[in-house]
Structure 1
């Protein structure tokens, strides 16, 4: 899978700009504030319909404009045009000029893996960041997952609202809460299975990748969930046991919205037993495992974005990432200076240099 062309209209600092990419390696260089991350953010947004930098779509629209457009030509067996129009009242998505009414029917068409400085904090990150990352990746492999997650969150919100109402009015019957609990459990069990399957797939490759990079082994990812190995009847009992606590707090205190994914090394938490450098290598191994899953499960190579990693990873670690990539993968690298880039990486590469509102393009043989 490759993005051949990207056109940005009123997107952040780009009023009207078009980029023609190499099918293989692309390097975007420029000082901070020039917009290099804006370009890869737009590629990511075109695939996921969300930014990895902000939850507010309005900031993606140039401050002096009313709307923004991201348009890309994607090649995967055949060429298709994907477009997203961002307006103040929402977004619209299109494939080959046909509007797609459901976002869940659009996501998973373009596969992108993002690797940036925030990902390097993954091992020490909080559970919400772990869930966000896993949700993004599974959604690209299974668009039904996104719908399940959306439905779960809607029922969760309804249940929490009803709990608060019950807390302030003791006359409100519990029967409707039981109905919401049943719906929550049914959706949660389906999500639990998909998450468990995904982590099992990650673990097929994670330790082998880590061993190739570090010569050490024993790394795995553990899925922590209240739903693990339980039936609907088991979970109903759990929710009934938590009823008083839920009522007092006005919120649901168990469920897949509280799941976590923790890195372990030799049956110990990796954050406590791996050095900083080894933790970075563990995250690299995880990202490579994600690529493995796309290749073997989705039968495609995703677009890989390495955003501003040279301030956190030395050339040796970057080269390790490149070394384990298949030649057919399309790669994007952002950096402030070409001096950071190994000559081997520059071979057969297209470089976009952002300077003074101009973009210079150079191909390296």
Structure 2
């Protein structure tokens, strides 16, 4: 899976930019603020039809009416053309010039896995940060999970609106609440099963990937903590009084959490920022194994400032591993001084300056 060509129009500070990527490692080198991260954001946007940084409307170049991201990509050895047009009126997503109305039918056209500074929040941030990461990663892999998540959110919204109305009544009729709760219970059961399976699959590779990147023999795993798992319908109905009083549903996938465990310790309390970066990288690489097992191809890796706080040994080890996977990797960095010459010769290098991207080196040619 890879992006061959990308065209940006009115995206962030790129008025118009065309890029031809190589199938392996692509290194984008430039000072902070030069526009490197905006490029990764554009590819991320192309994949999941939303920005990871801000409200989508803020990605449109100042004083412009719309932005457009267009790409030629390769998915399961088939060429596909992707386009997203974003304006104040909304977004339009197209695959091979055919508009895709439902977002859940667009996501997964190409799979990307990102390592971004913001991703450290999946360890040290809130449960909401961790749920968002898991939903986004798994939603690209399994469309049925995405459909069920959409169904759950609709039922949850209906139930919470009903709870608010019931809280204003002296003798509330619970008939409709029973119906919605029964439907919600079935959805919760499916989502818990999906998530538990996904975390188990991540853990198949996670210990190995963490030990490879860190050179430490300590185990690193993810633990899934569902807020409700057994006797779901019965438990939800037993909480009616509390839910009506608080006017919201207090148990379900929207309250789940995930622990990152280093040995027997919580990583968020016991790992340095450098160790946490390696942990997030290990999770990303472990998820790529799941994608490869399902689709027989690797996702596109988007790695922003990945070399920060990694020593030269780990920097080179990471790129060698990506080259070995024969995966497309799009990596931003401020310099290449620690990268071995033999690796640079196998990579394509772009120079980013003042929101302009120029190819500098490809296949041994300046």
Please list, as runs of the form range in 1=range in 2, the aligned pairs for 1:81-100 lying within 5 A after superposition: 81-100=81-100
Distance 1:297 1:112 in 2: 14
How far residue 58 of structure 1 moved from its aligned partner, in angstroms, is: 0.5
Q: Report the RMSD for the aligned CA atoms in angstroms.
A: 1.9
1:59 is matched with 58
1:303 is matched with 300
Please list, as runs of the form range in 1=range in 2, the aligned pairs for 1:46-125 lying within 5 A after superposition: 46-54=46-54, 56-76=55-75, 77-125=77-125
How far residue 121 of structure 1 moved from its aligned partner, in angstroms, is: 4.0
Q: Which moved more, 1:272-281 or 1:330-339?
A: 272-281
**Do the aligned partners of 1:310 and 1:340 also contact (CA within 8 Å) in 2?**
no
2:329 is matched with 331
Please list, as runs of the form range in 1=range in 2, the aligned pairs for 1:13-52 lying within 5 A after superposition: 13-52=13-52
Q: 1:278 to 1:11 in 2, by over 3 A?
A: closer
1:224-244, CA deviations, whole angstroms, 9 ceiling, x for partnerless residues?
Answer: 00333x2xxx11221122222
**Do the aligned partners of 1:104 and 1:144 also contact (CA within 8 Å) in 2?**
no
Distance 2:205 2:354 in 1: 44
How far residue 310 of structure 1 moved from its aligned partner, in angstroms, is: 3.0
How far residue 306 of structure 1 moved from its aligned partner, in angstroms, is: 0.8
2:361 is matched with 363
1:128 is matched with 128
Distance 2:321 2:143 in 1: 28
**Do the aligned partners of 1:24 and 1:327 also contact (CA within 8 Å) in 2?**
no
How far residue 101 of structure 1 moved from its aligned partner, in angstroms, is: 1.8
Distance 1:135 1:257 in 2: 11
Q: Which moved more, 1:44-53 or 1:271-280?
A: 271-280
**Do the aligned partners of 1:284 and 1:321 also contact (CA within 8 Å) in 2?**
no
Q: 1:90 to 1:144 in 2, by over 3 A?
A: farther
Distance 1:62 1:293 in 2: 36
Q: Which moved more, 1:130-139 or 1:183-192?
A: 183-192
SS at match of 1:262: strand
Match status 1:151 vs 2:151: yes
1:61-89, CA deviations, whole angstroms, 9 ceiling, x for partnerless residues?
Answer: 11211111111100131211111111212
**Do the aligned partners of 2:32 and 2:334 also contact (CA within 8 Å) in 1?**
yes
1:315-356, CA deviations, whole angstroms, 9 ceiling, x for partnerless residues?
Answer: 333223223333410111112233354434422222221224
Distance 1:210 1:31 in 2: 30
Count of aligned positions: 360
Match status 1:260 vs 2:261: no
How far residue 175 of structure 1 moved from its aligned partner, in angstroms, is: 1.2
Distance 1:254 1:20 in 2: 48
Please list, as runs of the form range in 1=range in 2, the aligned pairs for 1:188-267 lying within 5 A after superposition: 188-213=188-213, 214-228=215-229, 230=230, 234-267=231-264
Distance 1:272 1:57 in 2: 33
Match status 1:319 vs 2:316: yes
Q: 1:157 to 1:104 in 2, by over 3 A?
A: same
TM-score, structure 1 as length reference: 0.93
